[in-house]
Amino acid sequence: MDHMLLQAVFIPLLLSPVAYVVGRRHGMAAVTWFSLAVLAYCTALVALAALDGGAEERHAWTGMFGEFGLALDGLASPFAIMIYALSAILAVYSRPYMEHKFAEQYREAHGEGGSAVALAEYVRAKSGTYHALYLVFAMGMLGTVLATNLIQFYVFFEVMLIPGFFLIAFWGDGPRRKIALMFFFWTHVGAVVLLLGFLAVGLSAGTFDFAGIAAAAIDPDIVLVAAVAIAIGLGVKLAAFMFHIWLPWVHGAAPTPISALLSPVMIGIGAYGMFRLIMELLPAAFSELSVWFHVWGLVTMIYGGAMALMQDDLKRLLAYSSISQMGYLLFGLGSQSVLGLAGAEMMYVTHALGKGILFMMAGVIIVRVGTRSISRLGGLAGRMPITATCAVIGALTIAGVPPTSGFMGEWLLFYGALETAVEEGSTLRYVTFGLGLVATALTMSYMLWMIKRVFFGKMPEGLAGTREAGWHMLAPMMALAGFTVVLGIYPDIFLGQIVPYMSGIAGAGELGPGTAAALAGAGAAAAPGGGA
Amino acid sequence: MVTAILGAVGVALPVINVLRRESGSNMFYAAIALGALAAAISYVVSQVAMGTVAASQVLSGDVVADDLLGAFFAIAMLIVAVFTTVSSFAYMRERRYPAVYYSLILLSAVGMVMVAYANDLVVLFVAWELMSIPTYVLAGFNKRDPSSNEAAIKYFMFGALASALIVYAISLAYGLTGTTDIAGVVAGMAALDASLVPLALLAGALFVAGFGFKMGLVPFHMWLPDAYEGSPPPVTALLAAGTKKAGFAAAVRVVVIGMAALSVDWALALAIIAVMTMTVGNVAAVMQKSLSRMLAYSSIGHAGYILIGLAVAPYSATALPGSLLHVLNHAVMKGVAFVAIVGTVTALATAHIDRLRGLGRRMPITAVGITVSLLALAGVPPLNGFWSKLVLFGAAIDAGAAAPWAPWLAIAGVLNSALSLAYYGWVIRKMYFEDSGGERVREPRAIIAVVAFSVGFMVAFGVYPEPLIQLAQSAAPASLMP
Amino acid sequence: MADPAFLALSVLTIVSAIAALELRSLVYGAIALMGTLGGIAGFFLLLDSPFVAMFQIAVYVGSIAVLILFTVMLVRRELIFTKVEDPRRRLAGVGLMLVAMASLGAIVVHSGISGITTEEPAVDFRAIGADFLVRYWPALILMGLVLSGAVTGAMVLARREDTEDDQRAS
Amino acid sequence: MTNELVDFTLVSVALLCVGIYGLAVKRNALRMLFAVEIVINAANLNLVAFARFVPDSGGQTLALFSIAVAAAEVAVGLALIIVAYRMYRDIDVAKFGTLRG
Amino acid sequence: MAEHEGLLAAAAWLVWIVPFAAALTMPALKRWQGRVPGWAAIAGAAASALLAASLLPGALAGGEVHAQTSWIAAVGLEAGVLADPLAVIMSNVVAWISLLIVIYATGYMRGDPHIVRFWFWIMFFVGSMQLIVLSDNLLQMFFGWEGVGLASYALIGFWYRDKKKDHVGTEGRTVLGMLDYYAPTHAGMKAFIMTKIGDVMMLAGMFLIFAYAGTFGFRELVGDTAWAEAMGAQGLLVPALVLLFGGAIGKSAQFPLNEWLLEAMTGPTAVSALIHAATMVKAGVFLVARLGPIAFALGASGLLADQFFEVVAWVGAITALLLASQGMVNPEIKKVLAYSTGSQIGYMMMAFGVAGLSEQFVDGYTAGFYHLISHAMFKASLFMAAGSLLHVVGSRFMTDMGGLRRHMRKTYAFVWAAGLALMGAPFITTGFWSKDAIFASVFESGSEWAMPIFAIAVVTAVITAFYTTRMIGMVFFGPKSEHVRKLESEGHGIHEAPLSMWVPYGVLAAVTIAIGVMGLAFEESLHHLFGGYLEESFGIHSPHGEGEHPALPAPLSGLNPVALGASLAAFGVGIGLGYAFYVGRWIDPARFVASNPVFRGMHAVLLSRWYINAAIYWCFVVSPLWLARGVFRYFERTAIDAGMNTGLERAVGWAARVVQGAQTGITQSYLYVFGAGLLLVALMLLM
């Protein structure tokens, strides 16, 4: 099919006004199916392109800043697939959650007295807006990942902010407007710092296209400065330590389906940026900075975990957990070895799955119980067994316990870190590796403790009447839970793409014995597969 | 040609008024004015499109240079004039002296256009005055409104002082080089005796002050927020989006080109002013209560961004194109924002941010116009404002090789744009996320038209900015490029 | 060294300029301003530019100053004779003025123009006329537009609406 | 011609500074108008002086334009002051301070 | 033959796949509550057991089945099963004991509303355990390893409502300010996290080895020793092995990660029997059995991993003594058994450790493994019996029992049988033979540490005999406790457990005795089997002559007299003391302890678990939480939140006010600024 990627990126955008109209005319159910259909189609496009071994499209754009390209390669495809798959799944999930939220806001605005007809009308009006913004949001994220040009990357990077801002400001919790502004503001600050880095790189290279930059020889001083700027800019998106100011608020306040998209999928794009922009485009700076990424990642992961321990608000806890998980990604990135990098990318996938489940769980609890305060929860496992099961699977995914995909991400990640440590004989790396492993215990602690406080133990008064969520909410969770287990047992679905790509970047000369042996095996294993 | 059309119509309008003896027909005069502007703009655009315009004739020696630089500014300013006229449909409906009003707009437009085309200091000065004097009147056109009058008086005092300073500066330049022709001045400055350089620089400073007053550069900006807030909103659109840009047109012609000849580090001075300007503008815009005042400060901030391009012009080939691009974009963005204010003022009789609560529901199209323009002003892609900022900041970073301080301009610029998002976002928040409970209001059709056009412009050139970038590149005078 | 006429004119001009600003009565101030404007005209004569001097006297002294004087007359008496200003700001203004004078004067004096005199004949005012029509005709057109705009604008502004409304009502 | 160019320039600078002082200090709108006129005249003086010493007709031309423009300006300015006076019964500019912040 | 091998390989795969499949069918059986899930579980466990048994003949003949399939192709990893004698025997032990316990649990868990969840996790556990046993590489094994951990977590916290009766510990009792009273969900979490610490070390070890060897496979690690040489050169070999052993420490509840096992007793007793006595805690031992030969075989290349074995031996010894000592004073029957479990596993570790330190690797290896088998049987039996007691009495405290021997005769008999095995009653119990083999191998190892470890082993044996007697005495002898009398007065008379419950532990007790009677022969054949296995697979040659393997047990011929004597003496002393205090009740233990401040202090220390638990809580729970709270309050909230959000807001607001304050609205001041600015710009340009 022609222009598969172009379609995948722009169909949601072009159809978002249609979604608005459908929502207004035919209500939430129709628009949910509409969104699902659109996103599912686009997911299929992306997945097909990925199965084809990637795709690349180029279109004329600006003379000064290069062309408009879309490329799906081994690095981008896991990100792209997760973005759209999760978006599609969450479109279904949105239905009950957002209906609940609309109704709540309607009551807020009109008191309890509003008539049912008026409420239905209200919900209809809002659902169109919601899905229109939702589609644009998804599209922005995908565009970022597929971009082949610095400026294009930046454009999409910002495009996803705008719908995100509105989604939070319209339907968030708490001081939602202020938080939406905070979100917009801080991520924009990050983005502009990123832009400075882009400009420095692009202008020194004389081109903004990735391909051109990779080929260009740039003054190493500029590269380093630019890489630091890019790292900081992406660090804000990634909510790495010291730049995570906005994240707990935003993820706590965003409407849950959006949190579930923001947290795992969107902030991970920061990591994608680090892969694509720093590791791939600025390898010299990357090798210089990688140790610092490593340490930064470690600090982030421990800090996020420690803060997560202290939270009482369920969604804030998950938000801090996301910070911690982004620390893993950074950690893997800093490992600078093929498997470590592959593991970091796998972590993105796995975090998307796990955190997606957990945020959905939080949404279920918000809808069914009406509180997010962990201290007011407890013993819900008996009342909502499927949710509890999914949540446990999600928690295990985050904690990296086999047979969930979390383990597959983590072992590669940590192994990669160790391999580099061994290779360089660097004590710092050994120590960070060890502490990183210890941090996994921390991760597990806060996750299990959260699960225990929410689902186990004594049930507070008043929760006895809690019911299990409807299938709109359960099915997405179960789908993700199933997928995380499948992926945990058979990770080749993604690793098959990631590892060869990463080894292509790292070059065969720098491999540790473990990786080399592994890859030799992989080559042997892949050869017949390639023939077939 | 443009002058002829506009000037003739401008003079003719009051005469027609006298002849008809029947005042109050707002639409009639507006239509005539609009027709004149449309003719003018189509003339300029067709000229540009046909490629009959020379790239840059700054150094040609003619009194009026019919070049792309002028055409570029002319397009920007004529668009603004059209905005003003169209939005005045709504605004002037209940007000008096429409004939004079539109004629003044046209005269001012002539002035602006001629400032852009002027290639001789004498013409420049007279055009400058032609641009300014009608706007003094326009600013005070609401005779019953004390703030309109206050704005006009402040504006007038500054304007008069500034034009006196410009004359003074011209006199120095003339005295040093013996000619008023810009090309001659440049040549003369380049060959200046070292002992005379301080005077040349003094002239430069006076030019900066004189033009900077219009551009709203710190510290010559202080009249600006008051004048913008107090003037009738369509006039503010003209001031902010139009005459301000004429200041840049003059600055590009005179300050940059003229001073490039002097081999002193004047660029640094401009850079300092640029940083001060953008910082003061953006900081002061925070927590404003009136939307027009906030936008006034924001336009001070934007003057700072544009000045970046002028400051690094000698070091980067993309600097001046960046400035030009931002001039055009800012004209549209700010123009539509003020036009939207016209809408709120006519429909709701307020531009107070707190009273704009729920605007998204009450006046959806106006609110969309404001939102998109604010986002574009903040430089959020994919809107046109992003690209011009991008080119500007890029130029600043690019200039870093020759001038080590230049990247700091870019850093200051991006930090300021980030800051600006905070107060733009605040307005958006008021419009969409808070509700005053008012009923939906009918939006003036003229405003809708302007908003539709500008939103289309901002989005279209945001997604595909190539034509504008190329236009700006070819319009920028090549003489400065390293 | 400057000749006595120049010195006398300088003193006249500057002192009357200061007087125009500082005299308690606005009327006297306006008259002192006329003195300044006349002094400038005198300078123009000294500079062998009689045409400009005449223009100065005709336009400035003859019309502008008179216009101002009439306006002054329009204003209430006590406003004419009371002078309001903040002592602190005045002090600051004087300071600024002196600093500016000193620094600008220093720039001027130390720049290369000191000591320039000329023996060349003055420009014939016919050349000016030729300039107007040949070279600066666009400016002339613009000037016409300026004047027409200013006149219509000033008229609209100055028109008393209350009386007009009364007329229309009647 | 016995006078030096610099003498005229100095007088002009002095007038310029007086004018700016007047603008910065005086609160009476009419006096501010006076000050503006002083500045314009300083500029004109400079212009004509340079024109004499260059010598060239351009300076004088511009001076003429400048005088005419000044007239137009004064007309508008006076009109504005009159409007203000009608509204406030006062011409103290410091009292026109509602726009601020 | 190839076909036959294929069948065997399929059986080896199915051994662990079948239980998983059974687990996955459980949710589908939810509709038919009641007995159906139980039957399905029995079917699954039985199928698995039969499959395991089908592997037995080949393994006993010294054969091995090794099959692989592609797994993570991207990294070149393969999944596989390795059914060598070690794995097959272990697999059978696991399979058959699980089958018995599953049968027991159908009775024990009857009527529980969450029975489906129970069976799911039990079957999941069995599958994971078999996966550990049959994996041919470390990574795959780790899946099972975490799987059993997960099942353990889920089952310890099975009664997730945290009712009072499901807790362990004495309510209100604190040790160093830490409450010694644990809810099931807390206990599950504690177990999972503590074992995770071990797992983390294990992962680190695995990765280190993988980094050098490029493989996780057990077979591959043996063949080529280049990796070990490289690691040895860097001094990383022993650390890597010790890190791997860390996993075993965690899973087998060895010192210092022993504390979770006691709280694990909050789970249903069937779970305690299966997971926390018979199988899962043996996974660590199994891991050492897997790795020990690899490490020892490196000795042939001159790479001695002595320090690794020393660590193993000492950890085992310390754990054995530490936990046994606490078992002497604890009032809860399941906790006593748990202490005993940890302590006995310490023996096994000790055996494997000294095996590596001696020339006679096979001796220690066999001894350890023999003890593993016998302990699995008698401890499972004891736990199930304890479950019956709990079931009947409704209290976990032994002080609430007493005098039950007349009411529960079968249980009484089986507890004696299994208890004697635990105590190491001479000649007729498996426990005696296996413990004696350990004593002997320790004594004969010739290591410099042999004597201290031997002494510890003997002391531990005394204590073991004592606490076992104490338990039996407190439960079955003496007067009935108030609790029991209250029950009787309420009409809930004490009665024997139902058939489905007593049969399983009866069978195990009987088998214990049966094997015990011909214990030496059993040991010899095991020795023979492992001798061949180690020789063939690892090239470890033991200098014992082949002639020393008589077909029939010549009683006592292969025994070491010192070890034998020590063993007998320990048994005698221990049971004697226990009898005096608790069966004969000649001395009142409470008064005895109170009589002397030293005893009082010791009692307190023992009852407070040597303060280790409390110390761990202080160091790893309380302080980190305290630290985290501090950081949260004084950094996250202040520096990050307030500092960057509010602070920035305030700073900008302040700046805005300053700038806006300058905008006074008065034209003069504007013009003044204009003039000053002009001057400034002029000067700036001129500078």
Taking each continuous run of H as one helix and of E as one strand, the counts in chain E are 28, 4
**HSE of A264, CA atoms in CB hemisphere, 13 A:** 34
Query: In B, which residues are within 8 Å of C143 by CB distance?
Result: 126, 130
Contact, E425 vs E472, CB < 8 A?
no
Mean pLDDT, residues E360-379 taken together: 89
Query: In D, which residues are within 8 Å of B175 by CB distance?
Result: 5, 46, 49-50, 53-54, 59
Lowest mean pLDDT among A244-258, A328-342, A422-436, A493-507: A493-507
**Distance (Å, rounded) from C-alpha B232 to C-alpha B234?**
6
D-chain residue closest to B206, CA distance: D43
Q: Domain of residue D68: give its range.
A: 5-92
Q: Where are the domains of chain A?
A: 4-519
> Residue A267's CB: how many other CB atoms inside 10 A?
29
Instruction: Compute and round to an integer the Cα radius of gyration of chain A.
Output: 22
Does B317 contact chain E (CB < 8 Å)?
no
CB contact under 8 A, B433 and A177: yes
Summarised one tens digit per residue, pLDDT across range A266-289 is 888 999 999 888 888 888 888 888
Q: Exposure pattern of E488-514 as b/e (b: 16+ CB <10 Å)?
A: eeeeeebeebeeebbbbbbbbbbbbbe
More confident position, B130 or B16? B130
Is residue E332 predicted with pLDDT exceeding 60?
yes
Percent of chain E, pLDDT > 70? Answer: 97
Compute the C-alpha angle B181/B185/B189, nearest 5°. Answer: 175
In this complex, how many residue pairs, one in chain A and one in chain E, have their CB atoms less than 8 Å apart? 169
Query: Cα dist. B244→B217, B378, E355, E519 in Å?
Result: 10, 19, 92, 104
Confidence label for E317 from pLDDT (cuts 50, 70 and 90): very high
- Å from C168 to nearest chain D CA? 20
CB contact under 8 A, A458 and E193: no
**Distance (Å, rounded) from C-alpha B2 to C-alpha B6?**
6
Cα dihedral E315, E318, E324, E327, rounded to 10, equals: -90
- Å from E644 to nearest chain D CA? 26
- Å from B398 to nearest chain A CA? 6
Residue type at B346?
T
Lowest mean pLDDT among A350-364, A368-382, A395-409, A500-514: A500-514
Query: In E, which residues are within 8 Å of C96 by CB distance?
Result: 672, 675-676, 679
Summarised one tens digit per residue, pLDDT across range A304-315 is 999 999 899 999
Interface of A with B in 164-183 (CB under 8 A): 165-166, 169-170, 176-177, 180-181
Summarised one tens digit per residue, pLDDT across range A56-68 is 888 888 877 888 8
Confidence label for E232 from pLDDT (cuts 50, 70 and 90): confident
Mean pLDDT, residues E284-307 taken together: 85
Query: In B, which residues are within 8 Å of A182 by CB distance?
Result: none
B-chain residue closest to A151, CA distance: B390
Is residue A525 predicted with pLDDT exceeding 60?
no
- Å from E652 to nearest chain C CA? 29
Q: Looking at the 3D structure of chain D, how many domains does it have?
A: 1
- Å from E633 to nearest chain B CA? 27
CA-based end-to-end distance of chain E:
99
CB contact under 8 A, A199 and B464: no
CB contact under 8 A, A158 and B386: yes
> So what's the pLDDT on residue A107?
84
- Whether D97 is in a domain gets the answer no
Q: What is the mean pLDDT of chain B?
A: 84
Task: Please report all neighbours of E, defined by 3+ CB atom pairs within 8 A.
Answer: A, B, C, D
Query: Cα dist. E72→A400, B458, E652 in Å?
Result: 17, 50, 54
- Å from A10 to nearest chain E CA? 32
> So what's the pLDDT on residue E547?
44
- As beta bridge partners, residue E65 has E83
Cα dihedral D43, D47, D52, D54, rounded to 10, equals: 140
**Distance (Å, rounded) from C-alpha A133 to C-alpha A162?**
9
Summarised one tens digit per residue, pLDDT across range A177-219 is 888 888 888 888 888 889 889 988 888 888 888 888 888 888 8
Interface of B with A in 459-478 (CB under 8 A): 464-466, 469-470, 473
Q: What is the 3 state secondary structure string of E321-374? A: HHHHHHHCCCCEHHHHHHHHHHHHHHHHHHHHHHHHHCCCHHHHHHHHHHHHHH
Residue in A63, A181, A203 closest to B425 by CB: A181
- Å from E653 to nearest chain D CA? 13
Six-digit token string for E426:
């001479």
Q: Give CATH for domain C2-80+122-169.
A: 1.20.120.1200
**Distance (Å, rounded) from C-alpha A324 to C-alpha A302?**
6
Which parts of B51-97 fold into alpha helices (H)?
68-91
**Distance (Å, rounded) from C-alpha E608 to C-alpha A513?**
49
**Distance (Å, rounded) from C-alpha B234 to C-alpha B447?**
11
* E228 class by beta-carbon count within 10 Å (0-12 exposed, 13-18 middle, 19+ buried): buried
Does B180 contact chain D (CB < 8 Å)?
yes
Mean pLDDT, residues B177-205 taken together: 82
CA-based end-to-end distance of chain C:
70
Does B266 contact chain E (CB < 8 Å)?
yes
CB contact under 8 A, D40 and B167: yes
Mean pLDDT, residues E141-147 taken together: 92
Short-list B266, C82, C103, CA closest to D20: C103
Mean pLDDT, residues E138-152 taken together: 92
Is residue B22 predicted with pLDDT exceeding 60?
no
E–B contact (≥3 CB pairs within 8 Å)?
yes
Q: Which residues, 6+ apart, have CB-to-CB distance to B456 below 8 Å?
A: none
Summarised one tens digit per residue, pLDDT across range E484-537 is 888 888 877 788 888 888 899 999 999 988 888 888 888 888 888 888 888 888
Strands (E), A247-291: none
Contact, B227 vs B287, CB < 8 A?
no
Q: What is the 3 state secondary structure string of E596-621? A: CHHHHHHHHHHHCHHHHHHHHHHHHH
- Å from D26 to nearest chain E CA? 7
Query: In E, which residues are within 8 Å of A307 by CB distance?
Result: 628, 631-632, 636
Mean pLDDT, residues B370-381 taken together: 89
- Whether D27 is in a domain gets the answer yes
Short-list A344, A326, A354, A318, CA closest to A86: A354
Is residue E290 predicted with pLDDT exceeding 80?
yes
**HSE of B382, CA atoms in CB hemisphere, 13 A:** 22
DSSP conformational letter for E180: E
E-chain residue closest to B220, CA distance: E674
- Å from E684 to nearest chain B CA? 7
Is residue E404 predicted with pLDDT exceeding 90?
no
**Distance (Å, rounded) from C-alpha A70 to C-alpha A2?**
13
Contact, E278 vs E152, CB < 8 A?
no
B-chain residue closest to D5, CA distance: B175
CB contact under 8 A, D60 and C123: yes
**Distance (Å, rounded) from C-alpha E365 to C-alpha E526?**
10
Query: In B, which residues are within 8 Å of A167 by CB distance?
Result: none
pTM: 0.89
> So what's the pLDDT on residue B142?
85
Query: In D, which residues are within 8 Å of C136 by CB distance?
Result: 61
CA-based end-to-end distance of chain A:
23
Residue in A159, A188, A203 closest to B394 by CB: A203
Which of E678, E679, E680, E683 should one mutate to test binding to chain B, selecting the residue with the greatest count of B CBs within 10 A?
Answer: E678
Residue type at E59?
A
Which of C146, C159, C160, C168 should one mutate to test binding to chain B, selecting the residue with the greatest count of B CBs within 10 A?
Answer: C146
**Distance (Å, rounded) from C-alpha B205 to C-alpha B199?**
10
**Distance (Å, rounded) from C-alpha A288 to C-alpha A274?**
14
**Distance (Å, rounded) from C-alpha B410 to C-alpha B318?**
13
* A211 class by beta-carbon count within 10 Å (0-12 exposed, 13-18 middle, 19+ buried): middle
* Tens-digit pLDDT string for chain D (101 aa): 567 788 888 899 999 889 888 888 888 888 888 898 899 999 999 888 888 887 777 888 888 899 999 889 988 999 888 888 888 888 888 777 777 76
Is residue B21 predicted with pLDDT exceeding 70?
no
- Whether D58 is in a domain gets the answer yes
Does A160 contact chain B (CB < 8 Å)?
no
Cα dihedral E178, E183, E185, E190, rounded to 10, equals: 30
Compute the C-alpha angle E144/E145/E151, nearest 5°. Answer: 80
Short-list E168, E177, E384, CA closest to E270: E384
Six-digit token string for B290:
């009136």
Confidence label for B57 from pLDDT (cuts 50, 70 and 90): low
CB contact under 8 A, E143 and A403: yes
> So what's the pLDDT on residue E555?
43
> So what's the pLDDT on residue E128?
93
Backbone angles phi, psi at E660, to 5 degrees: -70, -30
Q: Where are the domains of chain C?
A: 2-80+122-169, 84-111
Query: In D, which residues are within 8 Å of C47 by CB distance?
Result: 8, 48-49, 51-52
Summarised one tens digit per residue, pLDDT across range B327-336 is 999 999 999 9
Q: Which residues, 6+ apart, have CB-to-CB distance to D47 below 8 Å?
A: B167, B170, B171, B174, D59, D60, D62, D63, D66
> So what's the pLDDT on residue A327?
92
Residue in C92, C96, C103 closest to E683 by CB: C103
Residue E177 region by backbone torsions, left for phi larger than 0, else alpha for psi between -120 and 50, else beta: left
**Distance (Å, rounded) from C-alpha E381 to C-alpha E386?**
9
Residue B22 region by backbone torsions, left for phi larger than 0, else alpha for psi between -120 and 50, else beta: beta
Query: In E, which residues are within 8 Å of B206 by CB distance?
Result: 678, 682
CB contact under 8 A, E211 and A419: yes
> So what's the pLDDT on residue E176?
84
Instruction: Compute and round to an integer the Cα radius of gyration of chain C.
Output: 21
CATH number at residue D39: 1.10.287.3510
> So what's the pLDDT on residue C103?
86
User: Helices D5-25 and B146-177, interaxial angle, to 10°?
Assistant: 170
3-state secondary structure of E687: coil
Cα dihedral E298, E303, E307, E309, rounded to 10, equals: 10
- Whether D99 is in a domain gets the answer no
CB contact under 8 A, B470 and A63: yes
What is the DSSP secondary-structure string of B311-351?
HTTTT-TTHHHHHHHHHHHHHHHHHHHHHHHHHHHHHHS--
> Residue E630's CB: how many other CB atoms inside 10 A?
12
- Whether D62 is in a domain gets the answer yes
Lowest mean pLDDT among A25-39, B175-189, E421-435: B175-189
Is residue B419 predicted with pLDDT exceeding 70?
yes
Six-digit token string for B429:
């928040």
D–A contact (≥3 CB pairs within 8 Å)?
no
Interface of C with B in 88-117 (CB under 8 A): 104, 107-108, 110-113
CB contact under 8 A, D1 and C115: no
Does C10 contact chain D (CB < 8 Å)?
yes
Strands (E), D1-101: none
> So what's the pLDDT on residue B444?
84
CB contact under 8 A, E679 and C89: no
Confidence label for E131 from pLDDT (cuts 50, 70 and 90): very high
Summarised one tens digit per residue, pLDDT across range E19-57 is 999 999 888 888 776 788 888 999 999 999 999 999 988
DSSP conformational letter for B352: B
Q: Where are the domains of chain B?
A: 266-482
Percent of chain E, pLDDT > 90? Answer: 31
CB contact under 8 A, A307 and E139: no
> So what's the pLDDT on residue B432?
83
- Whether D53 is in a domain gets the answer yes
Is residue E558 predicted with pLDDT exceeding 70?
no
Mean pLDDT, residues E586-592 taken together: 86
> So what's the pLDDT on residue A389?
92
In this complex, how many residue pairs, one in chain B and one in chain C, have their CB atoms less than 8 Å apart? 99
